[in-house]
Structure 1
Amino acid sequence: MASIAKGNVPLWNTSMRSCHRSYTSVRHRPLPSHHHHQPYLLYKSTSSPFSTSATLHAHVQAQVVSKERPRVRSSTQPTKSITPRASAPTLDTLTNTHINAPISTFPAHLDTPDSLPASASAPEKLKRLVAVGRAYLTFYKTGLKNVYYNYRAAIPIRRELGLPKYLPAVPPRRRNGSRPANSGDSNADASMHPEFKLGRGRFQLVRRSARDVQRMIPFTLILIVCGEFTPLVIPLFGSAITPATCRVPGQVAKDREAGSKRRALALQAFAASTGKTVPMAGSDAERAMLVDVSRGTFAREASAQQVLQVCAMFGLVKKHDRAWGTAMAGLVYRPRLVRYLHYLEVDDRMIMDAGVDALSADEVRLAVEERGGGDVAAMMSGVKAETREREWLNKWVMERRALG
Structure 2
Amino acid sequence: MPPQSRRRKRHQPRRQLRPPPLTLPERTPDTSTSSHLLSTAKAYLGFYKTGMRYLWANTKLVRALPRPRDDDGDTATTRAQRLLRLRWRHDMRRLPVFGVLLVVCGELTPLVVLLVPHVVPYPCRIPKQVDKLLRQAEARRAASFARGTGGGGGDEDADSEMKQKEAGLVRVDPLSERLTDAAAVHICRSLQLLPPLWDRFGSPFPTLARRTAMRALRALASDDAQLRACGGVAALAPAEEVRLACAARGLDVRAVDELTLRARLDAWLALTETAAADRRRTRDSGHDEDSGDGDQVQAMQIALLTRRPEQWPQR
Quote the residue 2:227 is aligned against.
351
Question: 1:115 and 1:334, CA in 2 relative to 1: closer, same or farther beyond 3 A?
Answer: farther
Q: Once the 2 structures are TM-superposed, how far is the Cα of residue 329 of structure 1 from its aligned partner? A: 3.1
Quote the residue 2:11 is aligned against.
99
Q: Output the amino acid matched with 1:277.
A: Q
Quote the residue 1:393 is aligned against.
265
Does the alignment pair 1:201 with 2:80? yes
Q: Output the amino acid matched with 2:269.
A: V
RMSD: 3.1
Once residues 130 and 292 of structure 1 are traced to their aligned partners in structure 2, the CA distance between those partners, rounded to angstroms, is 58
Does the alignment pair 1:108 with 2:7? no
Judge conservation of contact 1:106–1:245 (CA < 8 Å) in 2.
yes
- Alpha-carbon displacement from aligned partner over 1:308-337 (angstroms, at most 9, x marks no partner): 22211112235496244422332x433322
- Give secondary structure in 1 for the equivalent of 2:120: coil
- Give secondary structure in 1 for the equivalent of 2:10: coil
- Give secondary structure in 2 for the equivalent of 1:144: helix
Quote the residue 1:327 is aligned against.
204
Q: Once the 2 structures are TM-superposed, how far is the Cα of residue 278 of structure 1 from its aligned partner? A: 5.5
Judge conservation of contact 1:266–1:310 (CA < 8 Å) in 2.
no
Question: 1:134 and 1:379, CA in 2 relative to 1: closer, same or farther beyond 3 A?
Answer: closer
Once residues 115 and 327 of structure 1 are traced to their aligned partners in structure 2, the CA distance between those partners, rounded to angstroms, is 52
Judge conservation of contact 1:136–1:228 (CA < 8 Å) in 2.
yes
Once residues 217 and 128 of structure 1 are traced to their aligned partners in structure 2, the CA distance between those partners, rounded to angstroms, is 31
Once residues 370 and 86 of structure 1 are traced to their aligned partners in structure 2, the CA distance between those partners, rounded to angstroms, is 26
Quote the residue 1:144 is aligned against.
52
Question: 1:133 and 1:373, CA in 2 relative to 1: closer, same or farther beyond 3 A?
Answer: same
Match of 1:342 among 206, 215, 218: 218
Question: 1:274 and 1:103, CA in 2 relative to 1: closer, same or farther beyond 3 A?
Answer: same
Does the alignment pair 1:227 with 2:101? no
Q: Once the 2 structures are TM-superposed, how far is the Cα of residue 201 of structure 1 from its aligned partner? A: 1.1
Once residues 166 and 197 of structure 2 are traced to their aligned partners in structure 1, the CA distance between those partners, rounded to angstroms, is 17
Once residues 314 and 86 of structure 1 are traced to their aligned partners in structure 2, the CA distance between those partners, rounded to angstroms, is 32
Q: What is the count of residue pairs matched by the alignment?
A: 260
Quote the residue 2:126 is aligned against.
248
Once residues 8 and 228 of structure 2 are traced to their aligned partners in structure 1, the CA distance between those partners, rounded to angstroms, is 15
Q: Once the 2 structures are TM-superposed, how far is the Cα of residue 398 of structure 1 from its aligned partner? A: 1.0
Q: Output the amino acid matched with 2:219.
A: Y
Judge conservation of contact 1:356–1:394 (CA < 8 Å) in 2.
yes
Percent of pairs identical after alignment?
27
Q: Output the amino acid matched with 1:162.
A: R
Quote the residue 2:247 is aligned against.
369
Judge conservation of contact 1:308–1:320 (CA < 8 Å) in 2.
no
Quote the residue 2:284 is aligned against.
none
Once residues 388 and 350 of structure 1 are traced to their aligned partners in structure 2, the CA distance between those partners, rounded to angstroms, is 21
Question: 1:262 and 1:324, CA in 2 relative to 1: closer, same or farther beyond 3 A?
Answer: closer
- Alpha-carbon displacement from aligned partner over 1:348-377 (angstroms, at most 9, x marks no partner): 1111222111111222111111101124xx
Judge conservation of contact 1:356–1:393 (CA < 8 Å) in 2.
yes
The unaligned stretches of length 5 or more in structure 1 are 1-84, 88-93, 164-171, 175-192
Structure with bigger helix share is: 2
Q: Output the amino acid matched with 2:225.
A: R
Judge conservation of contact 1:105–1:208 (CA < 8 Å) in 2.
yes
How does the TM-score come out when normalised to structure 1? Answer: 0.58
Once residues 4 and 132 of structure 2 are traced to their aligned partners in structure 1, the CA distance between those partners, rounded to angstroms, is 27
- Give secondary structure in 2 for the equivalent of 1:131: helix
Q: Once the 2 structures are TM-superposed, how far is the Cα of residue 111 of structure 1 from its aligned partner? A: 0.9
Question: 1:379 and 1:224, CA in 2 relative to 1: closer, same or farther beyond 3 A?
Answer: closer
Once residues 208 and 292 of structure 1 are traced to their aligned partners in structure 2, the CA distance between those partners, rounded to angstroms, is 31
The unaligned stretches of length 5 or more in structure 2 are 150-157, 277-315
Quote the residue 1:402 is aligned against.
274
Match of 1:274 among 160, 164, 168: 160
